[in-house]
């Protein structure tokens, strides 16, 4: 059950003026995605004005709808789903029926972009592979998001974020040296893959503006995960060095890590010699160490990490974080309180950026919203709209987008295009009503 009192305490989302132009207005996206990477990519497009039509199975919809936490008043819109499907429409189709497949093809013929992240071979079995869709719509941008690509010896392998973290070497780099590596708690490979897919789609759209031609896009979770290992990959390729697990410290800079003040943990990152000197001279009042001819050099500090950490832990433990925070900021030392997720979402920093707000929902009244981090001054993100119920937009899409007659709509229902119960019910944002 959602805690409505917590949600109602959030500030109402302040959108840009309605007159502000949306950069992707008029762009239509056929969204055949589920779970995380694909839906986040299409949500990025929807946030800036694209009409994103999410095609999903009748009744149950995207499996991600049912990830916790789920409120019994809206069982197919769990908090995980709400996070990744803002500003979309839902078209519930039975893709195993001829009628449902015909609607999908009609939508694709009128779309600018198609995004799918099924297992390899699924779209081909539906008759919706790139080659077929390109014949229906030569200008179509067709984006496939997969684990290991659509071609090659690993195309058939399923892959989720933790597997990509494991196989890319990312896990081996993270954690403490005295135990196995650890995965990131957040699905960072999915999120990074979504951002990559969004960028790829926008690049393909720019190319189409020049020559009028569509194209196929490939984005793979494993490829993104390799990039996410950072410059450690190039260090290995140039020297054979295997990055080691360093916990919260850095193998390249010192002192960098977590320290404990009198009441709260904090992170310090001394990325260069000047930051180190400011920290010890202006914050810790140790000019002797700040200007020490040995310790003022990065390579020597790495060798003397234990000594420096002992000095810093002793100093920081004498005062609370409220004492150290202004001193660190005044000295321009990169630092921060190591917050819980709840503390971060409620922080002054998040509030000042308008990152956490609430938006209307037809069933709950309000739901939380995490703002898109992209800020455009002239063409900002569109006002956020809560994710739809399964099939909430069936009728409007068929009548207004595909220009199907009401008589034909009735025939499609009876043919099972929208599932076995679609002849008698229709999904709306508030639930099911008699059709």
Q: How far is CA 383 from CA 19, 20, 27, 264, in A?
A: 11, 10, 17, 37
Is there a contact between 118 and 44 (Cβ–Cβ < 8 Å)?
no
When computed from its CA atoms, the radius of gyration of the chain, rounded to whole angstroms, is 26
Tokens 């310790």 — which residue?
295
If residue 267 lies in a helix (H) or strand (E), which one and from where to where? Answer: strand 265-269
* Number of Cβ within a 10 Å radius of residue 26: 9
Q: For residue 359, list its beta bridge partners.
A: 367
Distance CA 312, CA 289 (A): 11
Is there a contact between 222 and 153 (Cβ–Cβ < 8 Å)?
no
Distance CA 35, CA 355 (A): 23
Q: For residue 353, list its beta bridge partners.
A: none
Q: With 0-12 CB in 10 A as exposed, 13-18 as middle and 19+ as buried, what is 7?
A: middle
Q: For residue 24, list its beta bridge partners.
A: none
Cis peptide bond upstream of 154, omega within 30: no
> Which of 112, 190, 223, 401 is the catalytic position?
190
Distance CA 123, CA 268 (A): 49
Q: Is 190 a catalytic residue?
A: yes
Distance CA 221, CA 163 (A): 9
Catalytic residues, which ones?
190
């Amino acid at each position: 059950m959602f805690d409505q009192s917590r949600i109602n305490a959030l500030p109402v989302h302040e959108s840009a003026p309605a007159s502000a132009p949306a950069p992707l207005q008029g762009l239509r996206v056929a969204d055949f995605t589920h779970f995380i990477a694909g839906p986040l990519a299409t949500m990025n497009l929807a946030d800036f004005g694209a009409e994103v039509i999410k095609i999903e199975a009748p009744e149950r919809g995207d499996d991600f709808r049912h990830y916790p936490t789920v409120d019994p008043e809206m069982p197919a819109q769990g908090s995980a789903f709400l996070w990744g499907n803002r500003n979309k429409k839902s078209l519930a189709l039975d893709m195993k029926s001829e009628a449902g497949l015909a609607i999908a093809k009609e939508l694709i013929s009128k779309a600018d972009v198609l995004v799918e992240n099924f297992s390899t071979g699924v779209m081909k079995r539906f008759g919706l592979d790139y080659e077929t869709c390109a014949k229906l719509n030569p200008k179509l941008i067709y984006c496939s998001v997969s684990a290991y690509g659509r071609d090659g010896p690993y195309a058939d392998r399923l892959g989720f974020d933790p597997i990509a973290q494991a196989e890319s070497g990312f896990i081996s780099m993270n954690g403490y040296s005295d135990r196995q590596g650890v995965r990131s708690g957040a699905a960072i490979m999915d999120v990074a893959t979504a951002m990559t897919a969004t960028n790829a789609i926008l690049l393909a759209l720019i190319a189409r503006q020049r020559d009028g031609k569509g194209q196929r896009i490939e984005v793979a979770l494993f490829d993104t995960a390799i990039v996410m290992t950072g410059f450690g990959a190039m260090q290995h390729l140039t020297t054979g060095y295997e990055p080691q697990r360093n916990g919260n410290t850095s193998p390249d800079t010192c002192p960098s890590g977590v320290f404990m003040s009198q009441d709260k943990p904090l992170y310090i990152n001394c990325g260069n010699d000047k930051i180190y000197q400011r920290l010890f001279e202006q914050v810790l009042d140790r000019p002797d160490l700040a200007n020490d001819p040995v310790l003022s050099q990065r390579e020597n500090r790495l060798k003397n990490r234990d000594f420096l950490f002992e000095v810093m832990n002793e100093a920081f433990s004498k005062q609370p974080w409220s004492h150290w925070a202004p001193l660190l900021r005044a000295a321009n030392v990169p630092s921060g309180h190591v917050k819980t997720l709840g503390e971060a979402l409620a922080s002054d920093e998040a509030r000042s950026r308008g990152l956490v707000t609430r938006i209307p929902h037809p069933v709950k009244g309000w739901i939380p919203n995490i703002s898109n981090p992209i800020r455009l001054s002239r063409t900002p993100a569109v006002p956020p709209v809560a994710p739809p119920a399964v099939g909430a937009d069936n009728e409007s899409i068929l009548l207004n987008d595909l220009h199907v007659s009401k008589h034909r709509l009735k025939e499609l229902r009876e043919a099972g295009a929208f599932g076995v119960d679609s002849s008698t019910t229709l999904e709306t944002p508030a639930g099911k009503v008699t059709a």
